[in-house]
Amino acid sequence: AKEGGRGRHAMFEEPLDARLHERGALLADLRQAVARRELLLHYQPRVAAADGGIRSAEALVRWQHPGRGLVPPGVFIPLAEESDLIESIGSWVLDEACRQLALWRRQGRVLDRLSVNVSPRQLQSGRLVETVEAALLRHGVPWRQLELEVTESLLVGDARQASAQLAELRQRGVLIALDDFGTGYSSLATLRDLPIDVMKVDRAFVRDLGSDASAQAITRAILTLAQSLGKHSVAEGIEGEAQAAALRQLGCDELQGYLFGRPMPAAEFEQRLPQISAA
């Protein structure tokens, strides 16, 4: 792939000092990225398993670097998480997601909700509730339209404080999704300890549906668990029709993956939304 290709190559194959230099350079650029308006969001559709209609989307951040082209989040989010930058990037993502939601709303484009990834560091700051509230209020977006995706890695820090903030957000109407479910070390305990509404089945299981009996058994178990706990289920990373069929048959609520659409710019994504007469 051309996007981020050069950066990735340099990071993994050059000698250590070159790599450190490279990291430092990237981090220095990243410090300017928000102010220079180099970040943007792409949107990946999620469709209802029942009728194939787009109900929601996941917002995924990209970095349009002046020299390197489009840098994927797998490269710069970890850098941001190791520095203090994840706070400002995370706030920008929330604000931009709300701005876009409000715009679509004014245009009469129907989207039940938008899902935004939240890094554990954003919860550690203790300011997530106010950041979310500020973004929603600034753009006049209802709490119900926002979903936050968290991973169990947030329990590594102050679990009490993190789950208290999630509980407060949830109480106001935000949906909380547990991302990458099944890939961590303590998924079941996480399910008990965190206030969540949505379970996202990780791509690792979805990918091997149909070729690997244990992936199928695990997916079935996760979806059964979601059902008995009354959680909404989303499967991600669906690339083939057979995987989609298997997930529908197992009772998964929403489907997400290249089969239904790659993450794409807002202008492209909105073409796929139903439109009612504009307000």
* 119: contact with ligand C2E by CB under 6 A: yes
Nearer to ligand C2E, 44 or 219 (CB): 44
> Contact with ligand C2E (CB under 6 A): which of 175, 257, 266, 269?
257
Point out which residues pair with 61 in neighbouring strands.
41
**7 touches which of Ca ion, ligand C2E, none (CB within 5 to 8 A by kind)?**
none
Count Cβ neighbours within 10 Å for each residue of 226-256 and write b for 16 or more, e otherwise.
bbeeebbbbbbbbeeeebbebbeebebbbbb
Question: What is the identity of the amino acid at 236?
Answer: E
Element (H, E) at 85: helix 85-106
> Contact with ligand C2E (CB under 6 A): which of 161, 239, 248, 272?
239
* 47: contact with ligand C2E by CB under 6 A: no
Characterize the bridge pairing of strands 232-235 and 198-201. parallel
Alpha helices in 107-252 (DSSP H): 120-124, 128-139, 159-172, 187-193, 203-207, 213-229, 241-249
Residues in CB range of 10: below 8 A, 6 or more apart: 18, 19, 22
Write down the least CB distance from residue 160 to Ca ion, Å: 24
Write down the least CB distance from residue 179 to ligand C2E, Å: 5
165-184 footprint of Ca ion as x/- string (CB under 5 A): --------------xx----
- First vs last C-alpha separation in the chain: 41
* 95: contact with ligand C2E by CB under 6 A: no
Point out which span in 69-77, 100-108, 128-136, 264-272 binds ligand C2E (CB under 6 A): 69-77
Which residues contribute to the site for Ca ion (CB under 5 A)? 117, 149, 179-180
List residues near ligand C2E by CB under 6 A: 44, 60-61, 72-74, 77, 90, 93, 117, 119, 149, 179-180, 236-239, 257-258, 263
